[in-house]
Structure 1
Amino acid sequence: MKTIIHKLDDGSEAVILPRELLDSLNLQVGDQLQIIETDDGVIPRPVDDGFERQMSAARDVMDKHQVALQKLAK
């Protein structure tokens, strides 16, 4: 897999990761990515935030079904 280093408007640089790599690592916008340096190069690894993802999903469900959950709580 190849990618290009891009220069940003603020003068910094960014690496755009290919969609295939993000998909294989199960990464989405907003996820954290850990870069591990080795003698042979770098290894991208998702930061384990399973708990935060679960809580976010639970909040989404609760927001969507707020009225029904309030009725059930009575």
Structure 2
Amino acid sequence: MATLKLRAIGNSVGMVLPKDLLARMNLAEGDTVQVVESGDGLLLTTMPQETEAQLELGREMMKRYRESFAALAK
């Protein structure tokens, strides 16, 4: 278990993950993680590459058809 401290990063707040924890979780700068709220606190998990690819396709579709989605939402 690691204890992390929240720190100011520009206008936001973030936490720095220790190098040994990054190595154990096979994470590197730029990787995406999910934070899930649970009854016991927060759960930090890695995001499968397949999920990340699906999200990126969804973002592209939302951008491409933004006007159509806006019209449907009315």
- TM-score w.r.t. the length of structure 2 is 0.56
Distance between the aligned counterparts of 2:34 and 2:14, measured in 1?
A: 15
Q: Structure 2 counterpart of 1:26, which letter?
A: N
Do the aligned partners of 1:25 and 1:45 also contact (CA within 8 Å) in 2?
no
Identity of aligned residues (%): 28
Count of equivalent residues: 50
- TM-score w.r.t. the length of structure 1 is 0.56
Give structure 1 regions of 4+ aligned residues with deviation exceeding 2 angstroms: none
Unmatched runs of 5 consecutive residues or more in structure 1:
53-74
Are 2:47 and 1:47 equivalent residues in the alignment?
Answer: yes
Unmatched runs of 5 consecutive residues or more in structure 2:
53-74
Bigger relative contact order (CA 8 A; separation at least 6): 1
Residue 22 of structure 1: SS of its match in structure 2? Answer: helix
Q: What is the root-mean-square deviation in Å for CA atoms of aligned residues? A: 1.9
